[in-house]
Chains A and B, each alone.
Chain A
Amino acid sequence: MRFDQPAGTNPIDRMKVVGQPIDRIDGPLKVCGVAPYAYERHDVVPNQAYGFILGSAIAKGRIRSFDLADAKSAPGVIAIVTHENAGKLGKPKAITANLMGGPEVEHFDQAIAIVVAETFEQARAAAKLIRVDYARAQGQFDLRAAIPSAKPVSDSSGEGSASPGRIEIGDFDAAFARAPVKVDVEYTTPDESHAMMEPQATIAAWDGDELTLWTSNQMINWAVRDVSQALLIPREKVRVISPYVGGGFGSKLWIRSDVVMAALGARAAKRPVKVALTRQQVFNNTTHRPATVQRLRIAANKDGRIVAIGHESTSGDLPGGGPETATSQTRLLYAGANRMVEMKLAVLDLPEANAMRAPGEAPGMMALEAAVDELAEELGMDPVEFRVLNDTQVDPEHPERRFSERNLIGCLRQGAERFGWAKRNPKPGQVRDGRWLVGMGVAAAFRNNLTMRSGARVAVDGRGIVTISTDMTDIGTGSYTVIAQTAAEMMGVPVSQVVVRLGDSTFPVSSGSGGQWGGNSATAGVYAACAKLRDQVAAKLGFNATDVEFADGQVRSGGRSVPLTDVGEMSAEDTLTYGDLGKKQQQSTFGAHFVEAGVDALTGEIRVRRMLAVCAAGRILNPKTARSQVIGAMTMGVGATLMEEAVVDTRFGCFINHDLAEYHVPVHADIPHQEVIFLDEADPQSSPMKAKGVGELGLCGVGAAVANAVYNACGVRVREYPITVEKIIAGLPRVA
């Protein structure tokens, strides 16, 4: 099915099942601990051996030699693979650093060997016995020092945010110079680790020249492609299975070393091999969100209208890598005649920088929406009113392009009302609750909507069961559930009669999970397959396909009603593809974040007290799973603002706080009452589902709302994230 005209009325609009807040259908499996994750697939293939990956102890240089003697003779060791005996390997186009290093080392903890042994403990102990003779080379690990050599680059995150190296509309410099009220501020955001619960893990098994991988991956079809490119084997020989994923946040969009090393280990050991990265390895062996240095220049007339808006961002990555697209949202969020964005990339020899939830917007909005708060204060304007005043209903760079739906103002207004924004004292440091200084902050939420072609197969079995098969993944988002709801709505059966099978490369290729496109795109693919099957069922029954209705287990048309079970076994497969609706109009998602924060007047400790997100993001397929997505994102935003920082040791070229004791993410006690409101919306431009993404929208802007609340509470504006105690007390008055 091709989607190149806005959606008309269709069976989803009944919203008998779609749009209902039903429980996750995979919930019982998860709370009972029986949903099988990759490393736990003891059942799928016998005789599994254990692999442990040895990472490079240096950040850049060359391996002169390995001494494997002690490791080889260690108890239980079956095989050891290094670059010397791995055979020829390729580098997948989508990946920057080789998944197996050697002799060249590109970054700290890059995989350079795998030891396969009878037990995990034996493999790990033997890996420690490998002696590596390195020739260290100088590397560049300091973003600040690399800025002078950074070059403008045009890039897309591949996840919905894209920005040119430099673009200017109107005359930014002149307008900024002339304007009566302005801010010119630098914000920095640190490197971050995805810190998903389940680390990368894979079981690899060869059957002749055919490779099966049970792994944890967001994008099955990309994984097949990348395995084929890495191991130089045909795609048809690769099967990837990943039905349950314990969190990804972008870290599992592409295969990582666990996949390649498990496959190489299994080939050498002539046995299936299972590998999981340790938490320490997740930090330096895999990808991270790169640090940014951003400059915001925004100027307004005295009436509060923006006349010039400029955003520059620099990040770093390995040679051949890409930038954090932190300037992307600034092109679309606010009106203003004179505009400039510039995105630069420095070469760093840190581990590979890559997508982490809302790449681009997450750190970009942390800077932009805090700078906007600063400008509103300069103007003496309420920050909600300032945003409302500067709303735009068209793409500011291309005024002929409208937004398909844009209700940012509604989000701000309704949020302000619900949150009690009117009680906020605009003067910082005025509200006290015991030892706490209390403040409120607001920020806009913005994230583009992406649609991806997606396929599915639907089958009815003559006994009332509808089975959906697609290589879509559920990374904790609720894919199983919204797909079941879609199929139930389309085929007129209860959700309990829908079986959803996901995450297997033998199933039709789907959108996968990433860039908040998965929910809308994958269900749209299911819609297409179901629409095709409905036509086939109608034809078989001799019904007129245009007035046929599927409801209550019956197929009805022209006064006739036939049980769906009567059609026997039938199936259909289809893929929904997209025309250029997304080009003709700008599809984005909107929201407003409101935060109340307390700052300890003496110690500077910050605790968030209340949070509210109001989202306008198309049809909400399941308010319960969507709410979970948004509150998870809000929590992640609190982490990014107040504690998360993968600290670079520029002498050793690594992230040094590489475990969850030292890299802090929020714990339960950090997260207060969270509320989410979805505004009623359906976007016929997005897909037949009329839905859009929310999973990343929930993260975009949270950080700035927290930072703005902290400022309102205590009067200290911290522009270097994360906002920690020492940065606050440096700005507080001395103890009396």
Chain B
Amino acid sequence: MKSFTYERAATPAEAAAAAARTPGSRFIAGGTNLLDLMKLQIETPAHLIDVNRVGLNRIEETREGGLRIGALVRNTDLASDKRVRRDYGVLSRALLSGASGQLRNKATTAGNLLQRTRCPYFYDTTKPCNKRRPGSGCAALGGFNRNLAIMGTSEQCIATHPSDMAVAMRALDATVETVRPDGSTRTFPIAEFHRLPGDTPHIDTNLAPGELITAVTLPKPVRGYQTYRKVRDRASYAFALISVAAVIPKRGAGRLAFGGLAHKPWRVEAAERRMGDAREVAATVLAGARTTPQNAFKVPLVERTLAQVFGEAKA
């Protein structure tokens, strides 16, 4: 860990302004990922802006009948909120399938969106990694890539985004609200929040420098059976091999988003018209998949998991 300076912000706008003032700064909330990265010097911020006391820790109902989730609402609190459990079961389940109880108590809504990949080469500073050190190469391409991406990859990077929560939010068409250093605010559809790696795998999201997430808003609930199915190597405390966030109405199109496939939550709306047909949906969602011998199993696994989810929805 490199030594760093620290300040505590009192309001979101003050935090964003502080970030603009101090180059090389990072916001810190739960710190469940950032601190690990700092210890390994994968992240080397010169300055930390603690946003834990800026408020933004409430879940409010919106006029449109949805929920506005403050950026600092902890994963545990969000998963156990009565309204979330009642109307957005897919989100509650996704949250509870992630990390451990201790981590969920600390991890925040915004921080969860901003967690970085778990690619083993990103975590080993003696190895090339374009995400960690642009231009150094991608060691994962010819290496241990069993749990890396098969969709939306580039020659530069095949990392996945590790969040479960974000996958459910993608299925729910959430929007991400931010404040910029100049005090202005804007809103991203979650589909446009995370980026594909392309030639700039070191940039995970479309946030501008110093831009702070203030809330995630869920539109009014959509009807249907909601589930989050995470397939993993052990029963708990493991990142997804693949995951499916699903909202399945009795008839008609539903919502499906996938984790463990790409650099961002993966959703292909066109596939949702074939709800119930696992083979067709999988084929559409996975069109253009680029696999390696180690991760090719994700292709049949998506179809098999969809078959299970559709079967349970019907039952």
Binding site for B on A (CB under 8 A): 57, 75, 121, 124-125, 128, 280, 435, 600, 602-605, 607, 642-643, 647, 649, 651-652, 656-659, 661-662, 664, 666-670, 724-726, 729-730, 734-735
B199-231, CB under 8 A of A: which get 1 and which 0?
000000000000000000000000000000001
B301 → chain A, closest Cβ, in Å? 6
Q: In chain B between 137 and 186, which residues have their CB closer than 8 angstroms to a CB of chain A?
A: 139, 142-144, 146
Give the interface segment out of B16-24, B75-83, B233-241. B233-241
Chain A residue with the shortest CB-CB distance to B100 = A667
Q: Are B304 and A729 in contact (CB under 8 A)?
A: yes
B274-315, CB under 8 A of A: which get 1 and which 0?
000011000000000000000001001101110110000000
A277 → chain B, closest Cβ, in Å? 14
Residues in B with CB closer than 8 Å to A651 are: 139, 142-143
Give bound CA distance, A679 to B143, whole Å: 49
A596 → chain B, closest Cβ, in Å? 15
From B41, B123, B237, B305, A128 is in contact (CB under 8 Å) with B41
Residues in A with CB closer than 8 Å to B301 are: 603-604, 725-726, 729
Chain A residue with the shortest CB-CB distance to B296 = A726
Given that A662-B118, A735-B278 are known contacts, is A729 also in contact with B143, CB under 8 Å in the complex? no
B117 → chain A, closest Cβ, in Å? 12
Residues in A with CB closer than 8 Å to B300 are: 729, 734
B63, CB-defined interface residue at 8 Å: no
Chain A residue with the shortest CB-CB distance to B147 = A662
Chain B residue with the shortest CB-CB distance to A736 = B307
Give bound CA distance, A729 to B301, whole Å: 8
Q: Are B123 and A659 in contact (CB under 8 A)?
A: yes
Q: Are B234 and A725 in contact (CB under 8 A)?
A: no
Chain B residue with the shortest CB-CB distance to A122 = B3
Give the number of residues in B that approach A within 8 Å (Cβ atoms): 38
Give bound CA distance, A717 to B123, whole Å: 34
Given that A57-B126, A669-B235, A725-B241 are known contacts, is A602 also in contact with B308, CB under 8 Å in the complex? yes
Residues in B with CB closer than 8 Å to A659 are: 123
B66 → chain A, closest Cβ, in Å? 32
Q: Are B308 and A603 in contact (CB under 8 A)?
A: yes
Q: Are B241 and A735 in contact (CB under 8 A)?
A: no
Q: Are A735 and B143 in contact (CB under 8 A)?
A: no
Residues in B with CB closer than 8 Å to A652 are: 126-127, 139, 143
Name the 4 nearest CB pairs between A and B, nearest first.
Answer: A726-B297, A669-B235, A57-B126, A669-B236
14 contacts between A and B (CB under 8 A): A125-B1, A600-B308, A649-B139, A649-B144, A651-B142, A652-B127, A656-B120, A656-B121, A661-B118, A666-B234, A669-B236, A669-B237, A725-B301, A729-B301
Give bound CA distance, A730 to B2, whole Å: 46
Given contacts A604-B301, A651-B142, A652-B126, 11 further A-B contacts (CB under 8 A): A75-B3, A124-B39, A435-B308, A603-B305, A605-B232, A607-B235, A662-B123, A664-B234, A666-B234, A725-B297, A730-B297
B97 → chain A, closest Cβ, in Å? 11
B263 → chain A, closest Cβ, in Å? 18
Residues in A with CB closer than 8 Å to B231 are: 603, 605, 725
Q: Are B144 and A670 in contact (CB under 8 A)?
A: no
Given that A602-B304, A658-B124 are known contacts, is A670 also in contact with B234, CB under 8 Å in the complex? yes
Q: Are B304 and A735 in contact (CB under 8 A)?
A: yes
Chain A residue with the shortest CB-CB distance to B241 = A725
Give bound CA distance, A729 to B305, whole Å: 11
Q: Are A735 and B303 in contact (CB under 8 A)?
A: yes
Residues in A with CB closer than 8 Å to B123 are: 659, 662
Give bound CA distance, A601 to B235, whole Å: 16
Given that A647-B144, A651-B142 are known contacts, is A125 also in contact with B235, CB under 8 Å in the complex? no
Q: Are B304 and A603 in contact (CB under 8 A)?
A: yes
Q: Are A668 and B1 in contact (CB under 8 A)?
A: no
Q: Are A724 and B233 in contact (CB under 8 A)?
A: yes
Residues in A with CB closer than 8 Å to B144 are: 647, 649, 656-657
Give bound CA distance, A601 to B126, whole Å: 41
From B143, B146, B233, A643 is in contact (CB under 8 Å) with B233
Q: Are A662 and B120 in contact (CB under 8 A)?
A: yes
Residues in B with CB closer than 8 Å to A662 are: 118, 120, 123
Residues in B with CB closer than 8 Å to A657 are: 120, 144
Give bound CA distance, A670 to B236, whole Å: 8
Residues in A with CB closer than 8 Å to B297 are: 725-726, 729-730
Give bound CA distance, A124 to B199, whole Å: 32
From B1, B146, B303, A121 is in contact (CB under 8 Å) with B1
Q: In chain B between 84 and 130, which residues have their CB closer than 8 angstroms to a CB of chain A?
A: 118, 120-121, 123-124, 126-127
Residues in A with CB closer than 8 Å to B305 are: 602-603
B48 → chain A, closest Cβ, in Å? 14
Q: Are B236 and A667 in contact (CB under 8 A)?
A: yes
Residues in A with CB closer than 8 Å to B120 are: 647, 656-658, 662
Residues in B with CB closer than 8 Å to A600 are: 308
A266 → chain B, closest Cβ, in Å? 23
Chain A residue with the shortest CB-CB distance to B143 = A649
Chain B residue with the shortest CB-CB distance to A121 = B1
Give bound CA distance, A398 to B231, whole Å: 51
Give bound CA distance, A668 to B303, whole Å: 29
Residues in A with CB closer than 8 Å to B139 are: 649, 651-652
A366 → chain B, closest Cβ, in Å? 18
Q: Are A125 and B2 in contact (CB under 8 A)?
A: yes
- Residue among B143, B239, B304, B307 with the highest chain A CB neighbour number at 10 A: B304
Chain B residue with the shortest CB-CB distance to A730 = B297
Q: Are A668 and B236 in contact (CB under 8 A)?
A: yes
B292 → chain A, closest Cβ, in Å? 12
Q: Are A602 and B307 in contact (CB under 8 A)?
A: yes
- Residue among A121, A607, A652, A724 with the highest chain B CB neighbour number at 10 A: A652
Give bound CA distance, A602 to B39, whole Å: 40
Q: In chain B between 240 and 254, which residues have their CB closer than 8 angstroms to a CB of chain A?
A: 241
Residues in A with CB closer than 8 Å to B121 are: 656
Q: Are B237 and A667 in contact (CB under 8 A)?
A: yes
Give bound CA distance, A435 to B41, whole Å: 44
Q: Are A121 and B3 in contact (CB under 8 A)?
A: yes
Residues in B with CB closer than 8 Å to A729 are: 297, 300-301, 304
- Residue among A602, A604, A607, A668 with the highest chain B CB neighbour number at 10 A: A602
Residues in A with CB closer than 8 Å to B127 are: 652, 656
Give bound CA distance, A725 to B123, whole Å: 24
B179 → chain A, closest Cβ, in Å? 32
Chain B residue with the shortest CB-CB distance to A728 = B297
Chain B residue with the shortest CB-CB distance to A726 = B297
A434 → chain B, closest Cβ, in Å? 10
Residues in B with CB closer than 8 Å to A75 are: 3
